[in-house]
Amino acid sequence: QRRVSRTKSNREMALRENIEDSKVGASAEIRAVTPRAIAVALVVHATSVLWDEWMPYYISGSNISRSHFPLAFFFPFLLLCTINHLLHSIRFKWYLRKPELLVILGTGLVAIAVPYDGLTGHLIGILAGPYYFASTENGWGLYLHNYLPDWIAPRNTGDEMVWFYEGLPTGALAPVGAWVTPLFWWMCFLGAMAFAVFCIVVMLRKQWGSNERLAYPLVEVGNLLTDAG
């Protein structure tokens, strides 16, 4: 009877430990989006975006975001994972766990897709183009401008689009007011489109990731870097 009671107690203890471990694992997965992960992500993303803009505009270098895995984000993320691995090796308690690194990785791939070639480098120039490039030869002022609503593109009533392409005159202030309405409505449209894409991903995630187990080579390098955490 004592042996039976001991085995029962051992089984109960093992069951409790398994339940506690599962709870800890679940809580660790839920706590991926932590304040420190968000803070580190903002620093890494700001560095990536500024570096991406600095290369072509200020030193006439290569576009380091025009690649399958954007190098403008890869190198700051690689540096972060290296530092995090060192902190983990010395048992420093403030190192980032893998779920937190995955949050930084996922948000970084989205953030680096916005500047330069991703969105702003094309959208802003296209919005300013219909009025700046209008001429007598192409007849845009006669055949096109009457069909452009005020909210879809900024007007060139005070040479705002000329200043956009050719630079501000000495002492002039940036004509921000001409861009507020068009950019607001375009951001609403892009936000709605991004939300729709997010919903589609949520619907397809289980089928692609769990049932079909599709591989995603694009993020495999970044995923391997997070294993150190």
Predicted confidence (pLDDT) per residue in 111-141, tens digit:
888 876 667 778 888 898 999 999 888 899 8
Q: Alpha-carbon distance 128 to 143, whole Å?
A: 17
**Cβ pair 115, 53 in contact under 8 A:** yes
Confidence of residue 167 (pLDDT cuts 50, 70, 90): confident
Span 198-203, average pLDDT = 91
Find where tokens 């289980």 sit.
Answer: 206
Task: Report CA torsion sign: 63, 66, 71, 74.
Answer: positive
Dig out the tokens for 202 from the structure.
Answer: 């949520």
Residue 181 has pLDDT above 80, yes or no: yes
**Cα(first)–Cα(last) distance of the chain, in Å?**
47
Alpha helix (H) residue ranges in the chain: 2-30, 35-58, 71-89, 98-111, 120-132, 140-143, 160-166, 177-205, 220-225
Q: What single DSSP character describes residue 113? A: T
